[in-house]
Structure 1
């Protein structure tokens, strides 16, 4: 005779535990972090430091500069990412960072300045890899609409989703964003357990906002920074200053020639003595 199938035993788990299981890891944010070809050693390590701080990030091979920026949306779609941090190097000196919400937008473009990596700073702070950070923003982020938009974008991209599989259930470091001289200064600090002091870890960088677009890597310009000066303009001004220095030296040399008195050396009769003596023999 066949065995009788037993009825499934009812679960004794409380309702609160069931609700907690369903609510775990509801934020499925994935950030694609990659760069263009030609980035320097320091710029590449800055990108790697950001990846180590973001367990919800994904890698991608370097992208050709000649390709269209709009194609990044297709790369994010294939990698199943809804946020993107793209670093673009130009003329082997300037680093630009794109921060975008894929595919609808908005997106923001920054010039990255004052770059310091974790290895370059040699600071004493340390934190657990994959831990969730606290995000601290300056009060200036509440003064203008474009600052409020950037605050929301930083919160969505840099904050680690709760109960993410690769994250650790600890909060041991703070990411601070401060606005000074129209620049966003980003710092990373460890929360010391002994006396709750902040010890800087790195990386450290300053973001100079250029433009904010309505779409992802395209669209209408929502904000254009009137105080931004491109690095090309700064380099051209330095070249002109060096050229004016040479012109100043040339003008001072010509003026010195004009001020020099015009006189002729008198002929010394003693100079002809040896010539007359040679003619006698």
Structure 2
């Protein structure tokens, strides 16, 4: 009992209120006069100069845009390289395995939901030569489809002139769009001199023609939401060193990627490059009612059919020409009556005396036959000489 009382008293003493602290006496020597404001400012400036800057402060990641980039089975190497280029340029993208051709496109919405993505870029291959690219806002829409073709570049100078004069802008709403890619060149094919940091955020430059028509305005907003890298994304870098340009020319959208040089703000192309031809605008994701249809669009099947018809027409024309020539040869020749006026300007030639040759002409000497006969005689003489010596 006594031990417990002692412990209680000790606890009370330890936990009791502390007494007033003793004040330390300062000597007059330790007391310094207050520093002037100018001296304080100079010291602060020196500290700022000598201070090492810390890392870039990252804010809060608010724009949670995630892009799913994948394809169907049957794509070629160029499509695969284009997908890899887009994934490198877009740090907020995700990849997935190839989808079977027999599956319906609405299944992609479920794949996006499982991957926690709200945007999708889907490459669809058909007939082992046509490639379609869908841009989708999953699951409620919009979405866009592109036909990827590889053909010759036309009106290249005009396109560069428009790229230099293009403007940047914003748009309001988003709808499904069906578009065609007319030209495709990947980074490996171009081998451009431009370069940019992997994961850096791009600037988006749009042609002023995007604000003139409503369907281009909708397409502009869709491209902004897909190709713009969210700010403070974990995989992005806090630098802006390249620009995506979208230019409208010949009812098509031309995509280019340029590096921004720090010294003089010049542009150097990096790649990839492709051209989009608008086909249709839908309301839902991977389907729905059609809001706009491009009257200038021509499907690749129709294009190939026109080419075949042109070649067939040329072949038929050649065959017809040959048949006409054969018929002309078989027709009897028409004998025209003699025209008496045809011999008006004909002058008779001088008549030469007829000479009769009474002596037989000398026969021509065949030198080759003569040489053969001489060679034959010499050979026989040699054979006789050799046979006589042997005996």
Unaligned ranges ≥5, structure 2 = 1-10, 16-56, 146-178, 334-391
- Relative to the length of structure 1, the TM-score reads 0.84
Q: Say if 2:94 is the partner of 1:58.
A: yes
Alignment correspondent of 1:279:
none
Q: Say if 2:126 is the partner of 1:96.
A: no
CA distance in 2 between partners of 1:145 and 1:233 (Å)? 28
Q: Give SS of 2:200's match.
A: coil
Instruction: State the structure with more CA Rg.
Output: 2
User: Could you tell me how far 1:260 is from its partner in structure 2?
Assistant: 2.0
> Please, which of 148, 151, 155 is the counterpart of residue 220 of structure 2?
151
Deviations 1:181-230 (A, max 9, x none): 00000000000112110000000000111111111001111111111000
Alignment correspondent of 1:240:
309
Q: What is the count of residue pairs matched by the alignment?
A: 247
CA distance in 2 between partners of 1:262 and 1:111 (Å)? 56
> Please, which of 226, 229, 249 is the counterpart of residue 298 of structure 2?
229
Deviations 1:63-83 (A, max 9, x none): 111110011000000000000
Q: Say if 2:94 is the partner of 1:25.
A: no
Runs of 4 or more consecutive aligned structure 1 residues displaced over 4 Å after TM superposition: 261-264
Alignment correspondent of 1:118:
187
Q: Give SS of 2:288's match.
A: coil
Deviations 1:86-115 (A, max 9, x none): 111111222211111111111222221210
CA distance in 2 between partners of 1:98 and 1:231 (Å)? 17
CA distance in 2 between partners of 1:228 and 1:90 (Å)? 18
CA distance in 1 between partners of 2:74 and 2:262 (Å)? 41
Unaligned ranges ≥5, structure 1 = 5-19, 265-281
CA distance in 1 between partners of 2:81 and 2:72 (Å)? 14
User: Could you tell me how far 1:247 is from its partner in structure 2?
Assistant: 1.1
The answer to whether the Cα contact below 8 Å between 1:95 and 1:111 also exists between their aligned partners in 2 is: no
> Please, which of 127, 144, 158 is the counterpart of residue 196 of structure 2?
127
Alignment of 1:136-175 (within 5 A): 136-175=205-244
CA distance in 2 between partners of 1:125 and 1:47 (Å)? 19
Larger relative strand fraction: 1
Q: Say if 2:113 is the partner of 1:86.
A: no
Residue range with higher mean Cα deviation, 107-116 or 80-89? 107-116
CA distance in 2 between partners of 1:26 and 1:263 (Å)? 92
Q: Give SS of 1:86's match.
A: strand
- Which gives a bigger RCO, structure 1 or 2 (Cα 8 Å, sep 6+)? 1
Alignment correspondent of 1:275:
none
The answer to whether the Cα contact below 8 Å between 1:135 and 1:159 also exists between their aligned partners in 2 is: yes
CA distance in 1 between partners of 2:74 and 2:91 (Å)? 25
The Cα RMSD (Å) is 1.8
User: Could you tell me how far 1:259 is from its partner in structure 2?
Assistant: 2.0
